[in-house]
Structure 1
Amino acid sequence: MTINQLLSDLNENQRKAACMPRQHALILAGAGTGKTKTIVSRAAYLISNGTPAHRIQILAFTRRSASEIVERVRMHLGEEAQGLKASTFHTWCISLIRKAPKVFGCKGYSVIDRDDQLQLYKVLRGKAQKSELPSAQEICDLYSFARNTVQSLNATLQKKSPECLHNIKKISEVMLAYEKRKKERHYLDYDDILDVVAQQMTVSEKTRIWVSSQYDHLLVDEMQDTNPLQWKLINPLKENVTLFCVGDDAQSIYGFRGADFQNVHSFASRVDNSITLKLQDNYRSTQEILNASNWLLSQSALSYGKNLTAMRGSGKKPELHTFINEWEEGRWIAEEIFNNKQMGEDWKNNMVLVRSGYAGRVIEGALLAKDIPYQFIGGTKLLESAHIRDLLSVLRIVGNQQDEIAWMRFLTLWNGVGEVTANKLIERILFLDGYDQVIKLLKDSDKLPLSAADAVGAVIKNQNNVSDALLDSFQVLEEILAEKYKKQEWDKRRRDIQLVRKLAEKHTSILGFIEEYLLDPVHVTQIDRKENDDVVTVITIHSAKGTECERCYVINVSPGSYPSSFSIGKEDEIEEERRVLYVALTRAKDELFVTRRGYSLWAEDKSKVDDNAESENYFLNALPEGLFNEIIHRHKLWNVDNDAPDVTEHVDVGINIGNIPPDPQEEEAEESNASDWNHMVDNREAFWLSELRCADGYLHRSNSQSKSHKDSAGIAEELDGDKMVKKKLQIERNKQMENHSGIKIESCSAYYDTKKNVCVFGELIAENKSPVNEYKEVQLVVYDSDGELMAREYTNWTEFGLMQSFDFNVDLSDFEMEPSRIKVYPTNG
């Protein structure tokens, strides 16, 4: 396709943006309005009109977005676009640092990630009580937020943790000690990478001229998600480099990381002689879907000035489904997807949008129960996985002998080597001159097997071939890794090694490989799945920007979730929650299904709702009549007459949900209704025990409609060959540990099934209203009726605001006796 053909495919405003003369510009591109197409066209236009491709720098927020833009420009222009560069902010800055390390004072430095930062903060914070110092995680987050927002520690504490202001001196001492340790060990953290370049360009005219002399045009994608530190990077260049910034203030959803959508709102006042263009013609969705998202923004106190128009015209009205609970919600979605497949639809035409990895577990369980193939995007990224970090530790220590964090991880892999022994070895290693001496020390140590030295030697031998270095070191480490992860699906984890090798194939520098993928980690699905793979996509909303799908399910749009209960009382956070929902709603092309859960929605007495902050702030209050088709799903459980049929009502109204009683586990029955209510509770318990089963470690409902009976001991029969719950287990909590940590175990349930598995799931609440700190694990201890220990397990929990979630699935098939009770409590390991 020629440049003229490319430009002819644009609408009037897109063409104006792509073909404007050399002038600073902000392009406000609403969802589905062709943002990427406009950036691609702008780059292609500049190159076709004489700008050398290497004089254009494109900045995006993910490697995937950057690569897509470059590939599309090259597809149109061929060889003419070969020099075009696109990267993330961090990758761009690290490339500048590597070009001139002395200019930025970073010669010989290596990059550490967030987990490495946290480990350093844990050491430097020490064992101070929570009353003396915030947790290591909190200090780490405050430090990063202050740097990304270019604020003082005092201002950051006032905004994020005012309760910690009285400890500002001690907090600052820990942060300064952290910076000193980084300098001693030649570390650069994520914030350093941006800050060192921004600072040098601000204070040094020579540096500013050197950087700006490399470019004529800077094209910035997702401008609304830039933070003040990133603006500090861009701002010095505008004297000599033309800025072309594209963004949508209604999709700014990274405020918790310091993103400031004022970088969009204030662009005209900050950048002299700039122009602003709006793109509002939507090519993705039908007008009915856009009506819902337009209405959501119109309810904001902020003036977004957006009213997207569908170029595709009219289509199906979005549906709003209300369910009793998450299990019914997940089961219905899986059945809908399955039924559509039976009618000839592809799996890949379905996308389920969730708030977090944890929030998607019930959906995953429901899909597994129906044998529906799916990919999950947005959870732990490949190089953040524990087993991959273990393997990479040996590469990191060869890349930087001073990397004590990597040394600690590598040395403690070996049986019999704890932190004390590892620290003694590290103290000696840091002062050795070269790797010949390091190898000798490892071989001579009576604490380590010879294979420890062999693993390091394998990497040294292949320093210029990262893929081979990974293969050879893994062959040495495989046995010890298999033992460490034998209870954590080692066969699946082992397969990840091949994916990492695939990433490393093009790299001849260990540090270059580690830096690239630490700065922008990839999900397994980004490597392992092909574009034409026919699978359902389950994706977190924060990972979904730029994606689209024919049929989208946005789950749990309930009070307490939209906005999150943790944002109540904070107007800026409530608005960001609104934008998160806006992003989710605007992913759908043809059909949009919004679901919510009845037990968390409304009390029967509307007067109770008026006093409920979550309900008062609920985004779907006062829905205009006819905006959604509302469907209410009532399960027969909620009728006292258990023979009554399920009821599904299709009505064209607003928020009227009807008389769904609250979940009896969440609401106590009123005394006047005690007898009827207890009857419902008994029915509900029988229903749960008959339909709960374990699949891949998760508890979820069975599709079986068989009835079950339970005796006075609470034992359910096994029916239809399902893996049924046999009994509920008594749970004991360690109150002393909870009081010490400030973390309370909540909503914990434990079941023993007929396949001799103990399944436990629950939540933890941080009492001090702050993210959970160094207590990163939950310990589970299982006892039999004689009080004998049967199992002891640890698991990390999944972070979700101030509420943390965890689960266990413990195989007790080797024991004849049944478990009688369990203990569950937070631990710092």
Structure 2
Amino acid sequence: MGEPSAIPEPSPLSRPGTAKDVFADLNERQRAAVEHGVADGSHRGPLLVIAGAGTGKTKTLASRVARLVQTGADPHRILLLTFARRAAGEMEQRVGRMLHRLLGYGTTQAPPHFPWCGTFHSVGARLLRDYADRIGLAPNFTILDRSDAEDLMGIVRQELGLAETVERFPLKGSCLAIYSRVVNSQSRLDQVLQTHYPWCFAAHDGLKKLFKAYAQAKHQQQVLDYDDLLLYWSHMMMDAGIAADVRQRFDHVLIDEYQDTNRLQGSIVLGLKPQGENLTVVGDDAQAIYSFRAADVGNILEFPDQFTPPARIVALEQNYRSTQPILAASNAVIGLSKKRHAKDLWSNQASSELPRITAMPDEASQAQWVADQVLLRREEGIRLIKQAVLFRTSSHSAPLELELTRRNIPFRKFGGLKFLESTHIKDVLSILRWAQNPRGRLAGFRVSQLLAGFGPVSAGKLLDEMEREADPMTAIRGFTPPKAASEEFAKLAGLIESMSQQSEWPGDLERAIEWYQPHLERMHDDAEVRLADLEQMARIAQGYSSRERFLTELTLDPPEASSDESGAPHLDEDYLILSTIHSAKGQEWNAVYVLNVVDGCMPSDMATGREEDIEEERRLLYVAMTRAKHHLALITPQRFYVRQQRRGGDSYINATLTRFIPGKVARLFEQVAPMSARGDTRVSSHVPTVDVGAKLRAMWD
């Protein structure tokens, strides 16, 4: 869908002598976007710029703004919306530098200021203050940050008695997340619960009551939360008088990263420019990967047809980042999408090296192979910081983190929680530590408060009694917990006593996770994701001989084993980048390694319920692949260790190459047979040196 329009001959710039320095290096498509509607001075008609990965999106958008100002647009009447304050600042600086050269300003003369360059939320806050008296707000309203909003939601939840219901009611953080999803997606509460929070569906009526009371509390206190900045702005644009006034303030509206807008932001854009006049949006539907933040790829896919006549589409296809073989494979992956704006990235960078699909026996071999390759590329002259390892979920890098640590390869990790420092990992480690040393107050204090109804006072009393007793287990057995926690406390006491008397490794970890899982589900709305982290920890535990050894090694060197640096790099050293794919968007590296490119990881087994989820997973792989400039490797471990929920159910599963790379796409890659980490080929077709089966059968002759 959405074929790009033909590219007309570019019109001459009004000041060729100075403009040449600024616009001369634009390619044909970039210039078409910059010149849209400028030739006749009208600047009218909506424009959609589909900016493929590495095609100079920021340069094109900044050039268009500079071109508009050059032809008479007032910088004070240009609204430029971005998704981050840093992006807004960089955009304004870039446009300013262009205008300095374009308009011949002296070196001491300040470039034009763009007062309406900012994020959706910052611009919304300014407009709400300007119109506060017309929309029922006090001009001095305050804005709640995320933590304050959660606390207010918690207070209202408590006042309504929802915390005292017989059935489990979502905690304040989950309630705010649900509220935010409803607001930003412009969906009904029941739809949001059914699709994104099915475990909370029974609380539908209570949540509806809670959200109404929450809105009332904010109104009474004259406070707005983060989502209200958009919600109020959207409703403000529904009033004909106010909407006309706001539209009159802005001659031009330009929006960056339009694929990341949600339905609420889309309605604001249409409210600002209902006919699409002087409206430019820039983005790439193939890089829409933030649906978990309620972003809706439908905004950019449907944009052209929201106007009459339809918006003009200019697709930027010349890529300045990657080699042609990498782009050919990336194009093939995204080309299987069912709904997309057509484009075909190409590059002048020829190369004989194809992107690689490397099959490995298991995750341990994957980690070793990646470490080997990273060092090999380093010897070839590619610094560590110019290399990146990408993964779908933060926990997927855990075996690699430990391998890099053992081999003294410094790294920094971006995206997700630090593995061994995240709350749920620390909770389970504390269970093990308390069983290992029942007099350990820190571990006991943390673990005992995992029980509902067991607060810090009760925890302190328990630990004091354990400290006084010669045998701490005597105190645990004789302790009288709060009534609300009595049943669960008995289970915890039995677990700690049993594990403290006799350790069965790694069975201890499995038992701890089994006990912890219902508490995890009670405390966290993203319990399934966190449980995957715990399964990853169980996998890692297989490499340690005992509970004591496991806890000791992780405790002695926690930064290296858990997080963003393997030791503090010296001033003359660099470090490898580890990143989730979400955090890698917008970045580029000379060499990129993508972990676990198999079904179950990519797509995630938790994102296969709906077609739109599958399509976003495809876009995630595309984003990962298009981060690479010269070298790209997709790694497919053929076996995964899976911890079953019931004790004793450990197993390995056979993994297959992701469904996003079928046979016709796989031909664009160099495919390497299953290998060990050190490069020894292990192909199943090798002739066995010993026919053990024959010997066993011969036993019965």
Structure 2 distance, partners of 1:302, 1:360, is 32
How big is each residue's C-alpha offset from its partner over 1:645-695, in whole Å with a ceiling of 9 and x where there is no partner?
Answer: 96237xxxxxxx8579xxxxxxxxxxx99x99xxxxxxxxxxxxxxxxxxx
**Which residue of 659, 664, 668 corresponds with 1:618?**
659
Structure 1 distance, partners of 2:681, 2:75, is 59
Contact 1:90 1:194 survives alignment (8 Å): yes
**Which residue of 307, 317, 327 corresponds with 1:271?**
307
Measured at CA, do residues 13 and 356 of structure 1 come closer, stay the same or move farther in structure 2, by a change above 3 Å? same
Partner of residue 290, structure 2? 254
1:307-326 superposed matches below 5 A: 307-326=344-363
Structure 2 distance, partners of 1:315, 1:99, is 59
1:599-678 superposed matches below 5 A: 599-600=639-640, 618-622=659-663, 624=665, 626-635=667-676, 647-648=680-681
Structure 2 distance, partners of 1:91, 1:168, is 32
1:494-573 superposed matches below 5 A: 534-573=574-613
Structure 2 distance, partners of 1:121, 1:56, is 37
Partner of residue 195, structure 1? 231
CA shift at 1:27, angstroms? 0.9
Q: What one-letter code is carried by the residue in structure 1 that aligns with 2:86?
A: R
Contact 1:142 1:156 survives alignment (8 Å): yes
Partner of residue 215, structure 2? 179
1:665-744 superposed matches below 5 A: none
How big is each residue's C-alpha offset from its partner over 1:145-176, in whole Å with a ceiling of 9 and x where there is no partner?
Answer: 11111122233334334565554222211222
Q: Please tell me whether residue 291 in structure 1 is matched to residue 328 in structure 2.
A: yes
Q: What one-letter code is carried by the residue in structure 2 that aligns with 1:18?
A: V
CA shift at 1:238, angstroms? 0.7
Structure 1 distance, partners of 2:166, 2:184, is 25
Partner of residue 664, structure 1? none
How big is each residue's C-alpha offset from its partner over 1:10-37, in whole Å with a ceiling of 9 and x where there is no partner?
Answer: 1111101001111221111211222111
Structure 1 distance, partners of 2:417, 2:142, is 23
Structure 2 distance, partners of 1:618, 1:488, is 40
Contact 2:163 2:169 survives alignment (8 Å): no
Structure 2 distance, partners of 1:279, 1:3, is 21
Partner of residue 81, structure 1? 112
CA shift at 1:38, angstroms? 0.9
Partner of residue 778, structure 1? none
Partner of residue 235, structure 1? 270
Structure 2 distance, partners of 1:567, 1:616, is 17
Contact 1:90 1:190 survives alignment (8 Å): yes
**Which residue of 80, 95, 100 corresponds with 1:58?**
80
Partner of residue 72, structure 1? 94
**Which residue of 301, 304, 310 corresponds with 2:338?**
301
Contact 2:638 2:656 survives alignment (8 Å): no
1:755-774 superposed matches below 5 A: none
**Which residue of 176, 195, 205 corresponds with 1:159?**
195
Measured at CA, do residues 7 and 34 of structure 1 come closer, stay the same or move farther in structure 2, by a change above 3 Å? same
Measured at CA, do residues 375 and 614 of structure 1 come closer, stay the same or move farther in structure 2, by a change above 3 Å? closer
Contact 1:70 1:84 survives alignment (8 Å): no
How big is each residue's C-alpha offset from its partner over 1:373-403, in whole Å with a ceiling of 9 and x where there is no partner?
Answer: 433333469xx999xxxxxxxxxxxxxxxxx
Contact 2:79 2:250 survives alignment (8 Å): yes
Structure 2 distance, partners of 1:646, 1:28, is 42
Q: Please tell me whether residue 338 in structure 1 is matched to residue 375 in structure 2.
A: yes
CA shift at 1:209, angstroms? 3.3
1:410-489 superposed matches below 5 A: none
CA shift at 1:345, angstroms? 2.7
Mark the runs of 5 or more structure 1 residues left unpaired by the alignment.
387-417, 421-486, 493-522, 603-611, 637-644, 650-656, 661-671, 677-829
Q: What one-letter code is carried by the residue in structure 1 that aligns with 2:237?
A: M
Measured at CA, do residues 19 and 204 of structure 1 come closer, stay the same or move farther in structure 2, by a change above 3 Å? same
Structure 1 distance, partners of 2:90, 2:681, is 44
Structure 2 distance, partners of 1:6, 1:129, is 65
Q: Which has the higher contact order (CA 8 A, sep 6+)?
A: 2
Bigger mean CA deviation after superposition, 366-375 or 349-358: 366-375
Q: What one-letter code is carried by the residue in structure 2 that aligns with 1:5?
A: D
Report the 3-state secondary structure (helix = DSSP H, G, I; strand = E; otherwise coil) of the residue aligned with 1:57. Answer: strand
Contact 2:154 2:172 survives alignment (8 Å): yes
Contact 2:301 2:341 survives alignment (8 Å): no
Structure 2 distance, partners of 1:120, 1:50, is 48
**Which residue of 8, 27, 36 corresponds with 2:58?**
36
Contact 2:301 2:340 survives alignment (8 Å): no
Measured at CA, do residues 20 and 327 of structure 1 come closer, stay the same or move farther in structure 2, by a change above 3 Å? same
Structure 2 distance, partners of 1:130, 1:55, is 56
Partner of residue 3, structure 1? 19
**Which residue of 121, 125, 129 corresponds with 1:94?**
125
Measured at CA, do residues 336 and 219 of structure 1 come closer, stay the same or move farther in structure 2, by a change above 3 Å? same
Measured at CA, do residues 192 and 368 of structure 1 come closer, stay the same or move farther in structure 2, by a change above 3 Å? same
Report the 3-state secondary structure (helix = DSSP H, G, I; strand = E; otherwise coil) of the residue aligned with 1:567. Answer: coil
Question: TM-score with structure 1 length normalisation?
Answer: 0.55
Measured at CA, do residues 99 and 331 of structure 1 come closer, stay the same or move farther in structure 2, by a change above 3 Å? farther
Partner of residue 70, structure 2? 48
CA shift at 1:350, angstroms? 0.8
Q: What one-letter code is carried by the residue in structure 2 that aligns with 1:553?
A: Y
Structure 2 distance, partners of 1:129, 1:579, is 42
Structure with greater helix share of residues: 2
Partner of residue 244, structure 1? 280
Q: Please tell me whether residue 16 in structure 1 is matched to residue 5 in structure 2.
A: no
How big is each residue's C-alpha offset from its partner over 1:77-103, in whole Å with a ceiling of 9 and x where there is no partner?
Answer: 233333365322112212323445434
Contact 1:568 1:614 survives alignment (8 Å): no
Q: What one-letter code is carried by the residue in structure 2 that aligns with 1:96?
A: L
CA shift at 1:631, angstroms? 2.4
Q: What one-letter code is carried by the residue in structure 2 that aligns with 1:177?
A: A
Bigger mean CA deviation after superposition, 95-104 or 57-66: 95-104
Q: What one-letter code is carried by the residue in structure 1 that aligns with 2:218?
A: K
Question: TM-score with structure 2 length normalisation?
Answer: 0.65
Structure 2 distance, partners of 1:32, 1:56, is 26
Contact 1:560 1:618 survives alignment (8 Å): no
Q: Please tell me whether residue 220 in structure 1 is matched to residue 255 in structure 2.
A: yes
Contact 1:355 1:541 survives alignment (8 Å): yes
Q: What one-letter code is carried by the residue in structure 2 that aligns with 1:619?
A: F
Q: What one-letter code is carried by the residue in structure 1 that aligns with 2:178?
A: L
Q: What one-letter code is carried by the residue in structure 2 that aligns with 1:72?
A: R
How big is each residue's C-alpha offset from its partner over 1:286-323, in whole Å with a ceiling of 9 and x where there is no partner?
Answer: 11101211111233333442322223233421111222
**Which residue of 142, 148, 169 corresponds with 1:110?**
142
Identity %: 33
Report the 3-state secondary structure (helix = DSSP H, G, I; strand = E; otherwise coil) of the residue aligned with 2:67. Answer: helix
Contact 1:282 1:310 survives alignment (8 Å): yes
Measured at CA, do residues 143 and 613 of structure 1 come closer, stay the same or move farther in structure 2, by a change above 3 Å? farther
Mark the runs of 5 or more structure 2 residues left unpaired by the alignment.
1-16, 38-42, 101-109, 424-454, 458-553, 643-652, 687-692
Q: What one-letter code is carried by the residue in structure 2 that aligns with 1:364?
A: E
How much is the aligned-residue C-alpha RMSD, in angstroms?
3.9
Contact 1:47 1:80 survives alignment (8 Å): no
**Which residue of 348, 353, 361 corresponds with 2:390?**
353
Structure 1 distance, partners of 2:181, 2:654, is 28
Q: What one-letter code is carried by the residue in structure 1 that aligns with 2:598?
A: S
Partner of residue 144, structure 1? 180
Structure 2 distance, partners of 1:385, 1:69, is 35
In the comparison of the two structures, how many residue pairs are matched? 507
CA shift at 1:265, angstroms? 1.7
Structure 1 distance, partners of 2:67, 2:54, is 22
CA shift at 1:268, angstroms? 1.8
Structure 2 distance, partners of 1:130, 1:539, is 42
Structure with greater strand share of residues: 1
Contact 1:3 1:45 survives alignment (8 Å): no
